[in-house]
Amino acid sequence: MSHLAGRGIADITGEAAECGMLGYGKAGQQTTGIHTRLRARAFALAEGTAAGDRGLLLVVCELPLISGGLVQEVLRRLPEGWTESNVMITATHTHCGPGGYFHHALYNSNTGGFRPKTFAAIVDGITQAALAALDDLAPAELSLAHGELHGTSANRSRRAFERNPGHDRACFPEAVDPHTTLLRITRDGRPAGAVHWFPVHNTSMTNTNTLISSDNKGYAAYKWERLEGGADYLGPEPPSLITAFAQTNAGDMSPNLNLRPGSGPTEDEYENTRITGTRQQESATGLFAEAVPLTGPLDHRITHLDLSRTEVGPEFTGDGRAHRTGGPVGGAAALAGAWADGRGFAGFREGRNPVWDALSQRVIYALSPALRDAHAPKALVLPAGPVNRLRPMVQERVPVQLLRVGRLYLLGIPGEVTIVAGLRLRRTVAGIVGADLDDVLVASYSNGYFHYVTTPEEYDAQEYEGGSTLFGRWQLPALCQTAALLATALRDGRPVRRGTPEPLPRARPDRRTPAREEPHPGRAYGDVLSFARMGNRVTATFVAAHPNNVLRRGGTYLTVERREGGGQAGDAGEGAGSAAPGTASGGEWIRVADDGDWSTTFRWARTGRTTSTATLTWAIPERPTPGEYRIRYHGDSAGSGPFSGATEPFAVP
């Protein structure tokens, strides 16, 4: 069967300053600039010669999470025929992206409320990437490969994992899931696109970092597209090869190999991000060469599951009896955080929390046997279900989606699935559709968010993941039951009941008034305040305006430029550049790096009630093109509009 494929990529970076980051949930983790920009990468697939009912659209977003509001607004902007059933929007789960784009209040707790600018930047970028992919549809060859990647993840919840039956644990001898999958897209034998799936948390950057970062999976894509492919993200043409690094069942998989934040393989979070990303990229390039043709139809199903009140049949519960899920409640262990990736609130710990355990067991569960059956032994702390009636805090009715690409099946789950929970979901689908287990993946972090999914055995340990399994002990069996429903309908070629989607709550925006701003006394916006060069690192500080005035989505707050005297422009080790505005005696200034590059950082800081600075750094590559360079800052004043300033030229031998 012939296929069409299209690719698209776009910037989805939100507010770079004074916006709470989503992921770790730390009140003090507010954005102060950019290390790497966040991007959405879209892949459209269709059968035959036109995109019809059998078309699929996969969008991999360098975001902490996907909110229901993002999905609804993007779908509203897509052409007719592209619906929640055949569009999967999934997150890489970086923990260092701006938050405030949820309509459910819990996820805006450190942003002061809903942030319309960040929401708009993400929606605009996802839509731009999706429409570009649809416009790019053309005959293509699809191929698939599987492999294993070791030394890149560690099980951060080993005590819970060990509670699983031996036949489940035997599938993961090292207590990690090393399974990798690559979908390759080629046109006329030339590489055009790739999606790589591997389960590892995107938490190489710690909760002390305040620069926007796409983390290890973002670095993997950046390395393949830009460092090796020479892509210019700010250029007029999209990269010739677009690559995405997506998640699977990463719920208990940490990149911090020493099970401490920022520790392993090294003690430097930036280096860990680079190494972990490189290992995933090298896995992907190896699989790219090994992929075999992927034939067969495209198909899709979706339903909405009310996780607060689902009756689960005895064939899925494991104890031969029917059970019901319960309303969402966070456990004491959830507030402790996953200690391998970053501790949570003081006074809480993974496992036993004696005061909360006693209150739940002796009082709450004693008064409500139904609550006990659904949630015990969780130490109940955050009763999100009752609070939802007053102010929607978390999503209760969630989409569960199944996509088919030939022999590859993607089960879209809007949560964080542990490796054994993922194994059971994959077995459920594979057994019904007759697929090899390797060809069935759990696409976690897709189409919404409802926290964690653990096995009932893991749930009983009440580690961080179990405490964050909001709907109780029978949540995974309920999802397996739903996966079986979707797989059966897809296998038999019949529709499935859509269920009732959760209505989108009203967003409560951040109503803080922006502070008045002005340049430093006697200075103008863009003036250079300081310049220094130490070894291979160049740093310049400028009179700044607030970066949230204009987010410069698809643009940059900084450029590193080289004076080009004529002929072909070279590079400074990071990809092709382009001419910067204006010229100088002796030649043209050529952009060689920007704020999306690994070698640069953009830091913004207040210096008074109305003044601020932007500090730009550039790490000179090991083998730069010799010549004259300068660093330019681009900003936007709330009163006078866009401006820029540049350092004096400096020599790079």
Neighbours of 484 (CB within 10 A): 18
Give the three-class secondary structure for 52. Answer: coil
Task: Determine which helix (DSSP H) or strand (DSSP E) holds 558, and give its type and residue range.
Answer: strand 558-564
What is the per-residue burial (b if ≥16 Cβ within 10 Å, else e) of 91-106?
A: bbbbbbbbbbbbbbbb
Burial of 427 (0-12, 13-18, 19+ CB in 10 A): middle
Catalytic entry in 153, 254, 308, 637: 254
8 A C-beta contact, residue 296 and residue 153: no
Burial of 392 (0-12, 13-18, 19+ CB in 10 A): buried
Give the three-class secondary structure for 15. Answer: coil
Distance CA 400, CA 595 (A): 37
What angle in degrees, to the nearest 10, is found between the helix axes of 419-433 and 475-492?
A: 30
Distance CA 512, CA 587 (A): 47
Alpha helix (H) residue ranges in 136-268: 158-161, 166-169, 215-222
Q: What is the DSSP letter of 414?
A: S
Burial of 383 (0-12, 13-18, 19+ CB in 10 A): middle
8 A C-beta contact, residue 276 and residue 264: no
| Contact partners, residue 343, CB within 8 Å, separation at least 6 | 261, 336, 337
Structure tokens at 357: 């355990």
The alpha carbon of 300 is separated from its chain's Cα centroid by a whole number of angstroms, namely 23
Between the two ends of the chain, the Cα-to-Cα distance in Å is 55
Distance CA 32, CA 602 (A): 8
Going by DSSP bridges, is the β-strand pair 330-331/452-453 parallel, antiparallel, or unpaired?
Answer: unpaired
8 A C-beta contact, residue 84 and residue 73: no
Distance CA 184, CA 122 (A): 26
Query: What's the farthest any 2 CA atoms get from each other in the chain?
Result: 83
DSSP characters over 139-167: EEEEEEEEEE--SS-EETTHHHHTTS-HH
Matching residue, tokens 């390039």: 285
* Nearest-5° Cα angle at 328, 323 to 330: 115
Catalytic residue at 254?
yes
Distance CA 440, CA 425 (A): 9
Q: Which residues are catalytic?
A: 254
